[in-house]
Amino acid sequence: MNISIQFKLTTFQPGSRGFNNAIFEPVTPFTVSVDVPVKYLVNAEQYLTDPLQGNKPPDPVLTIEGWVYVEDIFLNRANAELALPDDSVEWEDE
């Protein structure tokens, strides 16, 4: 089961000096939505059960693995589970 997480992007750049750890730029004017498997939420049980009890679901909280999943989507990194099989053909000498 996947849930849709919405957030605003902020760009982050490492600082050029040792004491200046990072530079944050303003938030972008648009919202991004990403479908994330529920197993990557710290508060998955509460997120799923609150609406059944008539309560508003809490804001989803990603695990570290969940954030890596989101980064992989944005950075177009290959996922080992989604790797395509090698279709190369080995020819024998005739």
Cα separation, 61 vs 41, in Å, equals 5
Residue-wise pLDDT tens digits, 22-51: 556 666 777 888 899 999 999 999 988 998
Question: What are the boundaries of each domain within the chain?
Answer: 2-77
| H or E element at residue 47 | helix 44-49
Question: With b meaning 16 or more CB within 10 Å and e meaning fewer, what string describes 3-16?
Answer: bebeeeeeeeeeee
Place of tokens 């509460």: 46
pLDDT tens for each residue of 47-87:
889 989 999 989 889 999 998 888 888 777 765 454 444 55
Give the chain's largest Cα–Cα span.
72
